[in-house]
Structures are given as C-alpha cells and as structure tokens.
Amino acid sequence: MSCSSSSSASEDEDEGFDSYRKGGYHAVRVGDSFSGGRYIAQRKLGWGEFSTVWLAYDTRSSEYVALKIQKSAPQFAQAALHEIEVLSAIANGDSSNSKYVVRLIDHFKHAGPNGQHLCMVLEFLGDSLLRLVKYNRYKGLEMNKVREICKCVLTGLDYLHRGLGIIHTDLKLENILLLSTINATKDPIRSGMTPILERPEGNPNGGVTMNIIEKKLKQRARRAAARISGRRASMGGVGGTPKSNRSLDGIDLRCKVVDFGNACWADKQFAEEIQTRQYRSPEVILQSGYSFSADMWSFACIAFELATGEMMFTPKGGQGFNEDEDHLAMMMELLGKIPRKIAIGGARSKDYFDRHGDLKRIRRLKYGSLDKLLVDKFRFSEIDAHEFTEFLGPLLDFEPEKRPTAEQCLQHPWLNVKNLKKTEMKSESGVEKVNVGMSKLQIKVGR
C-alpha cells in the first residue's frame, strides 16, 4: 500500500462505510488532531483488516509520520498491544535506526464515537515492493537492483532473527516498503507539501461516507475502462501495442521490513498456520514446526519475484485436490522430490502423502529445475541463472535446518557479484599490462 507503514492496506478497494461502527474503524477527517494535539491528520494512506493508516504531521518534531489507528473491538486492541510489544523491542534494540526494520515512534489510546482505539505512530515510508513490481509492469528488475533490495531485507531479517529472536511470519512484497515514494509528488517532503494544521472549512461530518462513495464510483469507472481496453487489445485494435520499459534509475531502492501484527518470538509461538499462501513454506503446510528458516523460504520467494516479475508458486485447488496439495506438487516439480522423512513428518502429512512419501492425489509430476526455468521462461543468461540459483537454491531446501541464515546469506558471493566483476576487470587489465611489459622486455633482451 502506497506510502504507508501498514502493508496489509489496500488501494484497490476501500474499507467500506459499514465498518465505521461500534468496535470498528475510527472516522478521521483531514485536520483532526491526536494525542493532545501532537499529531494532525493530513490524508489517508490506506487501510487494513484491523486498521486505517493516515499521513500525519508531528507538531513536536516537525516531521511527517504514519498514524495507524486500530479498530476498537477488544480482539483488535489485543492484536495492537502485541504489535506494539514487538515494535518496541525492535526500536529499543536499534537506536541508530540502521537495521532496515520499520521504527515505532509513539503509541497512545484515542477515544472516539466507535470506542477506544489503540494508535501507533510509525516512521513515514514509501511504496511497497509490490507497487514497485507493478510500476515496472511485472517485468523482472535488473539483477543489481534485486541485490540492493535483498541486502536491505537480509539485514533486517538478521537483526530480527539473531538479534531479537523474532520470526516475522508474513514476509511478502506488500510487507517491505521503500524508504521513499516512487513518485516524488506523493512524498510530503520532496513535494514541498505544506502541513495542514487545522481542519479545513466545509469538511462535513459525512466526509468519510462521501469519500468512500466517490472512490467506489471511480473504481467502477476504471474497471469499465479496463474491460473496454482489454477487448480492444484482444481485437488487435487500440491498446494492443506493448508498453515500453520503465526506468527505475533515480528511485531509492533502500527498503524496510514492516507489519509485525503476526510476528512472534521463536520461543513463544501462537499460530500453527502462518505466512501468506504463495510465500508459505512446506513445514508450515505440513505442520511439522517452524522457526526462523520459514522467513528465509518466504525471502527466497520474494527475491524470485523481484527478479522475474512473477510469483514462484501460485497454487490452486482442482478436482480431487486442494490448494495445499497443489502447492506441494509445484514445489516438487521445481525443486525435486520432498525427502520421505520430511513428507511424512508433519501433523498434516497423512492428508497429502502416502507412507512412501508420494502425493496421494497428484501422481504425475513434471520435474524441472530452477535454473532451467529462469533461462527458458524468463530469458536469463546461463551465467545469471546459474549464479542466482546458487544463491536461491539452498534457501528452498525442504529441510528447514539446512537453509542458510540471513547472516550467512549476507556473505554469499552473489550479493557482491557486482563488486567481484569490477575487481576481476581491474585485475585482468593489470595482467594485460604486465604481459605487455614482459613482451617488451623479451624484445629488448632478444636484441
């Protein structure tokens, strides 16, 4: 979700007016103040299942922040308290704010007509990696740009795992935000936005209702236009020409891990089913226990998506089998057969595997390999495919304990291949100079 520290927020749909009731969202208007007048609402950034997120101006620090306002019902308040606990531990251990994890600035309670809402104040960040991939028209990013993003995410994961003992449990493109917006006009600092310090005149109490109705009408109009454009394209008419590539040069690709609503301490887990479907690890599907390595599996899926523009796994249920079984089948087709001890070792293994470790309902698998897929489908060079597979392959080991840690990944040659190539070029040119010098020396000696 653009410009927010709540990655579960969406800009494709709206939260719906019905959710503004007792126990639900707090209705916010531009210019509303929070925490004794310290924070002033500027504009809505987005929303999630549990909260809405607003750009706010901090009158004490004179900085823009993201204000996350939780629904007021007890279960949402409980979830917010957990997230505050995790975010406080993160902030307390990173005084220099250098670990590429979102920073909690403040938290407080706000009383409104729908109840008491827990509020979190987070540093203002830019667009999600999902928005970046969309902006890039679902084409793969240049490998050096993928490396740059991976280094930030791995630094954050190393801090969470090794430094704090926290498992994120829901890593995906939406939950990693760039430090600034792709479009400079959306950034309140770069665009030179003047903060709103009081409620604008003529903003009626029905502002929330009207805002949602207007957005819904605009969404319908956009969908209708997209359908017409799609029909024209399929008929070979207007809109049929391919779009040109967009340049990502000049976009700051530094990013931070966000959204800790589902995070847990490794020694204090509270959910068996974690992770968004496409990023879910095999041990979670089979319920054989999980740890930090589950995050590393999700990270590998993210890296693949950045490099190709497509998700690694998009399982669907079919006749006689469900999404989980299709997901396991897709994993095996790409990565090889799951070792029998892993296949039959989980609480849900019997739902999918027979005693030999073969899937019960999906029998015919078309085995391939990661590097072949990168070359054949995504047109990687043999060298790039090989190097990228060397980096990703170990992270996708079916045995969780064999996957490298974030700390180990940061040492991997693939992350520093740009520097290696420069060094090699320098050393090669040095060798050439020496050879030229030697040949001259030999000529002189020959005379």
349, 414: one domain:
yes
| 443 pLDDT above the threshold of 60 | no
List the catalytic residue out of 32, 170, 324, 326: 170
397 is catalytic: no
Q: Domain ends where: 71, 97, 124?
A: 124
Q: Would the pLDDT of 214 be above 70? A: no
Q: Are residues 34 and 159 in the same domain?
A: no
Mean predicted lDDT score pLDDT of the chain: 87
Q: In terms of domains, do 306 and 388 share one?
A: yes
Question: Are 113 and 158 in a shared domain?
Answer: no
In a domain, 271, yes or no: yes
Annotated binding site: 68
If asked whether residues 179 and 45 sit together in one domain, one would say no
User: What CATH code is carried by the domain that includes residue 99?
Assistant: 3.30.200.20
Residue 292 located in a structural domain: yes
**Statement to judge: residues 271 and 406 lie in one domain:** yes
Evaluate whether residue 243 is within a structural domain: no
Q: Give percent above pLDDT 90 in the chain.
A: 74
d(CA 168, CA 417): 28
Residue 392, domain member (yes or no) = yes
Instruction: Report yes or no: 20 and 61 within 8 Å, Cβ to Cβ.
Output: no
- Binding-site residue ranges for ATP: 68
pLDDT at 85 over 60: yes
| pTM of the predicted protein model | 0.84
pLDDT over 70 at 430, yes or no: no
Q: How far apart are CA 291 and CA 405, in angstroms?
A: 11
Quick: pLDDT tens for 10-37: 444 677 777 899 999 999 999 999 999 9
Regarding whether 148 and 79 lie in a shared domain, the answer is: no
Quick one: 44 and 173 in the same domain? Answer: no
Which pLDDT belongs to residue 314?
96
Locus of tokens 């779009």:
243
- Residue 196: pLDDT band (50, 70, 90) is very high
Q: Which two tokens stand for residue 444?
A: 């002189």
Structure token pair of residue 148: 């740059």
CA distance 249 to 246: 9
In contact, 338 and 282? CB cutoff 8 Å: yes
- pLDDT for res 228: 58
* Domain assignment of residue 4, yes or no: no
In this predicted model, what pLDDT tens digit does every residue of 238-291 receive, in sequence order? 444 556 678 899 999 999 999 999 999 999 998 999 999 999 999 999 999 999
- Structure confidence at residue 178 (pLDDT): 98
Q: Is 298 inside a domain boundary?
A: yes
- How far from chain centre, in Å, is Cα 172? 4
Q: Is residue 53 part of a domain?
A: yes
* Same-domain pairing of 270 and 372: yes
Q: What is the pLDDT of residue 230?
A: 52
Nearby residues of 35 by Cβ (< 8 Å), 6 or more positions away: 106, 108, 110, 119, 121
174 band by pLDDT with thresholds 50, 70 and 90: very high
Asked whether residue 214 is assigned to any structural domain, the reply reads no
pLDDT for residue 278:
98
Expressed as residue numbers, the domain containing 104 is: 21-124
Distance from C-alpha of 249 to C-alpha of 247, rounded to nearest angstrom:
5
Total structural domains within the chain: 2
Question: pLDDT by residue (tens digit) across 294-306?
Answer: 999 999 999 999 9
Rounded CA-CA distance 313/69 in Å is: 33
Q: What is the CATH number of the domain that holds 136?
A: 1.10.510.10
Extract the tokens encoding 257. Answer: 């891990």
What are the residues whose beta carbons fall under 8 Å from the beta carbon of 222, sequence distance 6 or more?
none
Secondary structure (DSSP) of 135-189: HTTTPPPPHHHHHHHHHHHHHHHHIIIIII-EE----SGGGEEESS-SSGGGSTT
Q: How confident is the model at residue 338 (pLDDT cuts 50, 70, 90)?
A: very high
pLDDT of residue 441: 38
Where does the pLDDT of residue 232 fall: very low under 50, low under 70, confident under 90, or very high at 90 and above? very low
